[in-house]
């Protein structure tokens, strides 16, 4: 979504689509917890909600926006892997509007079960979880044509050398990022945590990865953000 002015932030949606019934859908897949998912979700939702209202149009032209977050980490307090949020009156439970609908699918909370006993949503969560054995995957693919197509697309992706290399590099960057954070916490490095927090707020995700994994790049970023004099790191 292109910003309307220089002060606004560029938003990149993983998947944005429009249903035949008119609703707009934003599907986000997040594998690393940057501790900003709640606000980021509202930011993306609002951007998509406003994007279809042209100048001079009536508010009736606004369309419902449904956001679906597929997370590879635990975020919310409930045990159920699926959580839905909307705007409602906390005293009466009355829903203000159907225009805002946000779903969280926390994959680590998914508990495996026989495919035949799964709901359609649970089958998709099983697909994303990667917890099924070969027999389970076969049953899952046979149960849903769309999931079968997803498996085919996955196989085609990993058979493409360049795409597979990009995927592996990304996975290694994520592991380096998480390892860097864990090491920093163990050593009590508040400065690194502060730097990564600042990079997150600035939307500089790749720099955050590098800061956690690469000491030389970390020092450059310390200087950029005025943190270089805190210690000798």
pLDDT: which is higher, 174 or 131: 131
| pLDDT, the chain, mean | 82
Nearest-CA neighbor of 17 among 57, 89, 59, 67? 67
Tokens 């390892």 label which residue? Answer: 179
d(CA 202, CA 59): 31
pLDDT above 60: residue 10: no
> Quick check: helix, strand or coil at residue 52?
coil
Render pLDDT for 71-107 as a digit per residue (tens, 0 to 9): 989 999 999 999 999 999 999 999 999 999 999 999 9
d(CA 39, CA 45): 10
Give residue 34's pLDDT band: very low, low, confident or very high (50, 70, 90). Answer: confident
Render pLDDT for 165-216 as a digit per residue (tens, 0 to 9): 676 666 666 666 666 666 555 554 667 777 877 776 676 767 777 777 677 8
Render pLDDT for 45-76 as a digit per residue (tens, 0 to 9): 998 898 877 777 888 889 999 999 999 899 99
d(CA 74, CA 76): 6
d(CA 157, CA 92): 49
Over residues 137-157, mean pLDDT: 89
**Least confident range of 116-130, 137-151, 189-203:** 189-203
Give residue 9's pLDDT band: very low, low, confident or very high (50, 70, 90). Answer: low
Asked if 132 and 112 count as a contact pair (C-beta separation under 8 A), the reply is yes
pLDDT given for residue 173 in this prediction: 64
pLDDT: which is higher, 13 or 91: 91
pLDDT given for residue 188 in this prediction: 47
Asked if 86 and 42 count as a contact pair (C-beta separation under 8 A), the reply is no
Over residues 16-42, mean pLDDT: 88
């Amino acid at each position: 979504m292109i910003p309307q002015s220089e002060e606004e932030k560029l938003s990149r949606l993983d998947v944005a689509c429009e249903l035949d019934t008119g609703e707009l859908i934003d599907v986000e897949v997040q594998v690393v917890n940057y501790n900003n998912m709640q606000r980021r979700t509202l930011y993306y939702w609002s951007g998509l909600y406003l994007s279809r209202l042209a100048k001079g149009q009536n508010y009736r032209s606004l369309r419902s926006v449904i956001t679906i977050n597929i997370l590879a980490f635990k975020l919310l307090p409930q045990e159920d892997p699926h959580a839905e949020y909307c705007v409602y009156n906390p005293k009466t439970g009355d829903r203000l509007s159907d225009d805002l609908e946000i779903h969280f699918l926390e994959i680590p909370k998914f508990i495996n079960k026989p495919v035949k006993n799964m709901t359609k949503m649970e089958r998709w969560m099983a697909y994303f979880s990667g917890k099924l054995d070969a027999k389970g995957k076969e049953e899952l693919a046979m149960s849903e044509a769309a999931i079968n197509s997803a498996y085919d697309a996955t196989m085609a992706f990993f058979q493409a050398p360049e795409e597979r290399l990009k995927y592996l590099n990304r996975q290694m960057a994520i592991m380096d990022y998480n390892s860097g954070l864990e090491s920093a916490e163990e050593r009590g490095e508040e400065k690194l945590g502060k730097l990564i927090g600042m990079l997150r707020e600035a939307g500089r995700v790749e720099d955050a990865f590098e800061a956690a994994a690469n000491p030389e790049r970390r020092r450059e970023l310390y200087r950029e953000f005025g943190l270089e004099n805190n210690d000798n790191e």
